[in-house]
Chains A and B, each alone.
Chain A
Amino acid sequence: MDLLSFFPEWVMTHGAALLVVLPLLMGVVLAILPSEKLAWALAFIVALICSVLALGLVLQIFGGESLVYSMGGWDPPHGISYVVDALSAPVLLLISLMAVLCLLYAWPSVRAEVEPKKRAPFYAAFLVCMAGLLGMVVTGDAFNVFVFLEVSSISTYVLVGMGASRDRRALTASFNYLILGSIGATFFVVGLGFLFMETGTLNMADMARILRDLDGGSRVAQVAFAFIIIGLGLKLAMFPLHVWLPSAYAHSPSFVTAFLASTATKAALYLLLRFTFTIFDVNINYVGRAEMILLVGFGVAGMIFASLQAIFQTDARRTLAYSSVAQVGYMLLGIGLATAAGAAAGYLHLLNHAVIKGGLFICLGAMWYRFGITRISDFRGLSKTMPWTMGAFTISALSLIGVPFTAGFVSKVNLATAAANEGWWWAVGVIVITSILAIIYMGNILKEAYFKEPPVVNGAIVARNEAPLMMLIPMWALALASIAIGINSDLMVQAANGAAELLFPVTNALPGGVTP
């Protein structure tokens, strides 16, 4: 942990607050900037600083200490506290790093997809969204979670709507997302209200303690639990509540899709872990059972149905969007197992899937950038016209399928092991079957790219036209990361184990990754 000594003292003490405040304030500044270049540079710097801060926090957490920061010096339970622990720190780092990579990619992509005068506000909305996501994860106050949830959601609606200059359908997608997202947020806040009624506090740690003392509390707490699960379920695209997601992913600017796919649903999933494991205790009878039925039931249904839907899509972005819903199912299955190993496996898949899907969507964006394609049938011969982009896409696709020596394999194996440990062999079967479905839907795309010749336009075969460097860097960074995780998953497994340790008093839930 020598790295830790490079960080000045104030990073450690105020990092948690800076992480949220900096992008929030800079978002306001960006909104009034005249120049898009300046806006991009500022956003990039902010994201970079946030990554450094998050890295510092993660190192500190790995060092073995949790961090509680009291906003404005007001101690909890009365003031708002920010909590950085083994569960939240990796997600913080994930969000900030994805922001950096996506912003690199944004430089060429936003210029192609967003109207010139809207670009500076676009970056502003992006920073606000990022602040909201980071805030959701870092805060230790339940109501504050709702505030940041709304901050991130509202800015997301804007970001999605910005896709209108490329694709008018972005407007309806954004509107649908707005309606459903608001319903989700409302359900969530209603649940919080009930919870406040039961416990008399909004501080998460306090809530957890009081609920445990009440042994799960009365019917009020149970109703609160239902509202919160459904509210968050909508936000994280739990299977039948996912209808907003495919259009939102398919029609928003590709930069937004890449960022959202790898962070937004992940932050909501993080909240689900927080609420179902730390605030409500799994040992409370109704929590454990309801989780098993609701999360596993909908998770497995999502894995199967969304995968099937992904197969029949003609638009590549929709295919990936449905695949995201299916992958959320995997994570829900892990969480719903309600064991340390299951939660750790779900958490691991959360991190890995962010890396994989981010990479895939960046590749798709690059293909749109060069050839304006989104339909699968237009992928013909892309392995020849965009070999590097297609290479990164292929690696990430294999990882999504779960081929050995990729990130997807690591998390799927851990998930299957966790299910098998509980004797849930049927769940292992479902994992295998849905992986085969993944082979089919990703194979459809790869088949077009590799086995068909490039199309002929005006009598000439389409020439090679590789994506710009600014796009290649992030997509290859993510593709290589996914291989690196597949070869040595120590760090990821350590993070997942740390998170599981926080949720369950068990050490080393996962026996270790594929680590020689």
Chain B
Amino acid sequence: MSDILANFFSMGNFNPGFIIILAGLLCIFIPVSEIRKALVLLAPIAGGVLIFQQFTSAEVIGGIWQVGPLKLTTLRIDSLAIIWGYIFCLAGVLNAIFGFHEKCKITDSSALIYMGAAVAAVFAGDLITLFVFWELTAISSVFLIWKGGDGSFQAGIRYLAYHVTSGVLLLAGAVIYGMSRGGDYSFNYIGLDAPGAWLILLGMGIKVGFPFLHNWIQDSYPKASITGTVILSVFTTKLALYALARGFPGTELLIYIGAIMTCFPVFFAVIENDLRKVLAYSLNNQLGFMVCGIGIGSQLAMNGVAGQVVAHVIFKSLLFMSMGAVMHRVGTAKASELGGLFRSMPITAVFCLIGAGSIAAFPLLAGFVTKSMIITSAIDHASYGGGPAMWVVVLMLLFASAGVMEHSGIKVPHFTFFAHDGGHRVKEAPWNMLVAMGLAAALCIFLASPIPGIGGYKWLYSMLPYDVEYNPYTTDHVVFQLQLLFAAMFAFAFLKRQGVYPDERKAEILDFDWTHRKLGANIAIWVGAMWTRLSANGANVRASFVDVAGRRLQQLFSPAGAFSAASPSGLPALLTSAMLAFAMIVIFVAAT
């Protein structure tokens, strides 16, 4: 053991995720809620400080660990990974403040382990380490889902099924990939041509929510506990996004996958009633933008992806937090039961609006300065040899941008805080939730600030992996974006006026999860029924066979019917002889 420790510390650096995981493990044994809360708050801060201390401008490699024939690189910090590391730690702090009121040992420890595993996975230098923490994020986070209400257990199981499959695919791909490179498992650019790459891509695709593999997001996130959803929304998908950005930048296929990802959730989000589910769909849509950016793979696009991750984590957390605060006070997040809450929760309403504006990419708010980079790079790509298909992609992205505005920017705050009064007269959100939301809202404004002196987008850009000159605040860009947004607003208002806009209805919307939740379940039920029938029939046939045989033998040998008390060991004995005959035939054939 001392060897291992010496190995870890003599290198002078180790994966900051370990500290957070360790804190999470400690939490299991701490009975006092206040101490746990301090740990939950301090661990991500410590993690962030560690990242800062260990990172030099070049790539830092460390924590080499020889396990049998495998060389594991448990730490690799470079300009790409560090952004994810920082934003995860920041999100950890926000989540800690937001969940301060909740006295739950399981949530605290699993949140920390989950967060630590995500940080550790981002800094993993090889595929095997990545796999280990990949699975750990899934296993530790499922407890957050199980802490939710009705149906959360089943949703958690489905969630686990998706993620374990994803991990298994990743591992299988990694093994094939590593073997083909003579046991070198280091995690760098993979590309689709490498052996095993498709398996790896599929594994990552499940976790990032590729179309038709995305259902776990909308299925499980809304069912988790209030704080759980906020925590969940940050890490898993962003970790997978990092893995994609590391392994498959510039893969053309991802452009199209991403474009489809941005568009299809729009329709579901519009008709969905559960607002947390709406946000889950919009999460999917946002991920589409980033996947698309990874597919384009130019320096500007990669910068856009990294920047968008930072902004997205902040504003998405903010939106989930505001919905969480509403749920905490009102007890529901169904659009049909909410409304008019701006009177009783004005501060939350303001924060929610800031988050909604950010996700819709209003100028002066966080989404604007980052998302525009991706769209600009898509337009660049289309103009310089992308072909007509690329213009379709650009149009899809624009449509999706308007769609985001529609469902996250307008629908969520509208139905919660305005619209017809739901009759709820509740208190403002607890202070800790307000602080967390306030911090996130301040960051949304701060990161997009065009004023030179106070940080602003230039500061954000300086953190990004590549040095690219880009200015989001050009006149035509701002004007274009505003037009897009106002068109979306107009469409909403118009449809609402005309009564065409889908009302808030209580309904469970099944999209692709129909295949496994209805079709698959029915198939399973059918097979189960058939199996029961078949085995019952089999038993009948066997019983009647034994019966008949027994009667015959009785007539032949024993009038008292000694044989009819069908000896259960008779059949196996016969089987044994049959096996012997089979073995002899096999050996006879093998010998000749």
The digit string for B217-261, where 1 denotes a CB below 8 A from any CB of A, is 000000000000000000000000000000000000000000000
> Is A126 interfacial (CB-CB < 8 Å)?
no
Task: Let me know if A223 is at the binding interface, CB within 8 A.
Answer: yes
Q: Is the CB of A289 within 8 A of B579?
A: no
Q: Is B35 an interface residue (CB 8 A)?
A: no
A294, B67: Cβ atoms closer than 8 Å: no
Residue of A nearest to B569 (CB): A179
Given contacts A187-B580, A230-B580, contact A172 B68 (CB under 8 A): no
Contacts of B66 in A (CB 8 A): 516
The reply to whether the CB of B587 lies closer than 8 angstroms to some CB of chain A is yes
Looking at the complex, which one of B68, B572, B590, B591 makes contact with A515 (CB distance below 8 Å)?
B68
Chain B's nearest CB lies how many Å from the CB of A510? 9
CA distance A513 to B69 in the complex (A): 9
Q: A223-B584, A286-B591, A293-B590 are in contact. Are A511 and B573 (CB under 8 A)?
A: no
Assess the B573–A180 pair: CB atoms within 8 A: yes
**Are A176's CB and B569's CB within 8 A?**
yes
Asked if residues A180 and B576 are in contact (CB atoms below 8 Å), the reply is: yes
Once the chains are docked, how many angstroms separate the CA of A219 from the CA of B588?
8
Find residues 407-461 in chain A having any chain B CB closer than 8 Å to their own CB.
Answer: 432, 451
Residue on A with the closest CB to B535? A312
Nearest-neighbor residue (CB-CB) of A435 within chain B: B168
Tell me if B572 and A286 are in contact (CB < 8 A). no
Task: State the CA gap A244–B571 with chains docked (Å).
Answer: 11
> Are A240 and B590 in touch, CB under 8 angstroms?
no
Tell me whether A290 and B587 are in contact (CB under 8 A): yes
Residue A255 CB within 8 A of the other chain: no
Cβ of A367 under 8 Å from chain B: no
Bound CA–CA A432/B572 (angstroms): 30
Is A179 a contact partner of B588 (Cβ separation < 8 A)? no
Tell me the complex Cα distance, A226–B153, Å.
Answer: 51
List of A residues within 8 angstroms of B590 by Cβ: 285-286, 289-290, 293
Residue A135, interface by CB 8 Å: no
Report the interface size for chain A: residues with CB under 8 A from the other chain: 38
Chain A residues positioned under 8 Å from B591 (CB to CB):
216, 219, 222, 285-286
Of A183, A226, A233, A244, the contact of B587 (CB 8 Å cutoff): A226
Q: Which residue of A lies closest to B570 (CB)?
A: A179
User: Hey, which chain B residues are within 8 Å of A285, CB to CB?
Assistant: 590-591
Chain B residues whose CB sits within 8 angstroms of the CB of A240 once the complex forms: 575, 579
Is residue A306 within 8 Å, beta carbon to beta carbon, of the partner chain? no
Q: Which residues of B contact A187 (CB under 8 A)?
A: 576, 580
Instruction: Tell me the bound Cα distance from A223 to B587 in angstroms.
Output: 8
Chain A residues closer than 8 Å to B267, beta-carbon distance: none
Bound together, the chains give a CA A513 to CA B576 distance in angstroms of 38
Residues of B within 8 Å of A227, CB to CB, are 580
Task: Give chain A interface residues in 218-234, CB to chain B under 8 Å.
Answer: 219, 222-223, 225-227, 229-230, 233-234
Residues of A within 8 A of B579 (CB): 230, 233, 240-241
Q: How far is the CA of A70 from the CA of B379 in the complex (A)?
A: 88
Q: Which residue of A lies closest to B139 (CB)?
A: A403
Chain A min CB distance to B308 (Å): 34
Contact with B along A272-298 (1 / 0, CB 8 A): 000000000000011001100110000
Given known contacts A175-B569, A244-B572, A511 and B68 CB-to-CB distance under 8 angstroms: yes
Give a binary string over A489-516; 1 marks a CB under 8 Å from any B CB, 0 the rest.
0000000000000000000000111111
On whether the beta carbons of B68 and A514 are closer than 8 Å, the reply is: yes
How many interface residues does B have (CB within 8 Å)? 27
Contact partners of B583 in chain A: CB under 8 A? 226, 229-230, 290, 294
**A180-B573, A187-B580, A240-B575 known; A451 and B153 CB under 8 Å?**
yes
Q: Which of A179, A219, A226, A516 contacts B67 (CB 8 A)?
A: A516
Within 8 A of B (CB), among A225-267: 225-227, 229-230, 233-234, 240-241, 243-244
Which residues of chain A come closer than 8 Å to B3, judged between CB atoms? 516
| Residue ID in chain A nearest B168 by CB atoms | A432
Residue of A nearest to B528 (CB): A312
Tell me how far the C-beta of B32 lies from the nearest C-beta in chain A, rounded to whole angstroms: 21
Contact A180 B587 (CB under 8 A): no
**Residue numbers in A under 8 Å from B587 (CB-CB):** 222-223, 225-226, 286, 290
**Assembly CA distance A219 to B576 (angstroms):** 21
Contact B67 A183 (CB under 8 A): no
Main secondary structure of the interface of B (DSSP, over half): helix
Q: Given the complex, which residues of A lie within 8 Å of B65, measured CB to CB?
A: 516
Instruction: Give the distance to chain B from A184, nearest Cβ to Cβ, in Å.
Output: 8
A-contact bits for B29-73, CB 8 A (1 contact / 0 none): 000000000000000000000000000000000000111110000
Instruction: Kindly state the separation between the CA atoms of A241 and B580 in the bound complex, as whole angstroms.
Output: 11
Bound-state CA distance A183–B572 (Å) is 10
Contact at A234–B568, with CB atoms within 8 Å?
no
Q: Which residues of B contact A513 (CB under 8 A)?
A: 68
B426 interfacial by beta-carbon distance below 8 Å:
no
Which one of B4, B67, B575 contacts A241 once the chains associate, using CB atoms below 8 Å? B575
> Nearest chain A CB to B83's CB is how many angstroms away?
30
CA distance A240 to B576 in the complex (A): 8
In the complex, are the beta carbons of A512 and B168 less than 8 A apart? no
- Chain A residues contacting B572 (CB-CB under 8 Å) are 176, 180, 241, 243-244
Digit string of A294-325 for contact with B (CB within 8 Å is 1, else 0)? 10000000000000000000000000000000
Taking CB atoms, residues of chain B closer than 8 Å to A172 are 568
Roughly how many angstroms separate A216 CA and B567 CA in the complex, as a whole number?
A: 39
Residue of A nearest to B585 (CB): A226
Q: Which residues of A contact B132 (CB under 8 A)?
A: 404
- Does A512 lie within 8 Å of B580, measured CB to CB? no
Q: Is B586 an interface residue, CB under 8 A from the partner?
A: yes
Chain A residues positioned under 8 Å from B4 (CB to CB): 516
Question: Could you say which residues of chain A place their CB within 8 Å of the CB of B168?
Answer: 432
- Report chain B residues within 8 Å CB of A294: 583, 586
Q: What's the least CB distance linking B144 to chain A, in Å? A: 15
Instruction: Note all chain A residues with C-beta closer than 8 A to B67.
Output: 514-516
**Nearest CB to that of A229 among chain B residues?**
B583
Q: What B residues does A223 contact at CB under 8 A?
A: 584, 587
- Shortest distance between the CB of A180 and any CB in chain B (Å): 6
In Å, the complex CA distance between A374 and B486 comes to 67
Is A234 a contact of B576 with CB atoms below 8 Å? yes
Per-residue contact bits, chain B 426-462, to A (CB 8 Å; 1 contact, 0 not): 0000000000000000000000000000000000000
Q: How far is the CB of B559 from chain A (nearest CB, A)?
A: 24
For A516, the chain B residues whose CB sits under 8 A away are 3-4, 7, 65-67
Interface centre among B69, B132, B579, B584 (most CB of A within 10 A): B579
Distance in Å from the Cβ of B385 to the closest Cβ of chain A? 41
Chain B: minimal CB distance from A227 (Å):
7
Residue of B nearest to A247 (CB): B568
Those of B538-574 within 8 Å (CB) of chain A: 567-569, 572-573
> Are B586 and A290 in contact, CB atoms less than 8 angstroms apart?
yes
Q: Which of B569, B573, B575 has the most CB of A within 10 A?
A: B569
Smallest CB separation, B146 vs chain A (Å): 8
With A and B bound together, what is the CA distance between A516 and B67 in angstroms?
Answer: 5
Q: Which residues of A contact B588 (CB under 8 A)?
A: 222
In the complex formed, the residue of A with least CB distance to B591 is A286
* Chain A minimum-CB-distance residue to B172: A432
Taking A229-B583, A451-B153 as contacts, is the C-beta distance between A511 and B69 under 8 angstroms?
yes
Most interface-central of B3, B65, B168, B580 (chain A CB within 10 A):
B580
Enumerate the 6 nearest inter-chain pairs by beta-carbon distance, A residue then B residue, closest first.
Answer: A289-B590, A286-B591, A179-B569, A226-B583, A286-B590, A226-B584
List 14 A–B pairs whose Cβ atoms lie within 8 Å, in order of A's numbering.
A216-B591, A222-B584, A230-B576, A234-B576, A243-B572, A290-B583, A293-B590, A294-B583, A512-B69, A514-B67, A514-B68, A516-B3, A516-B7, A516-B65
Please list the residues of chain A having a beta carbon within 8 angstroms of any beta carbon in chain B: 172, 175-176, 179-180, 183-184, 187, 216, 219, 222-223, 225-227, 229-230, 233-234, 240-241, 243-244, 285-286, 289-290, 293-294, 404, 432, 451, 511-516
A226-B580, A226-B584, A289-B590 given; 19 more Cβ-contact pairs under 8 Å: A172-B568, A180-B569, A180-B576, A184-B576, A222-B587, A223-B584, A229-B583, A230-B576, A234-B576, A241-B576, A285-B590, A285-B591, A290-B586, A290-B587, A290-B590, A404-B132, A451-B153, A516-B4, A516-B67
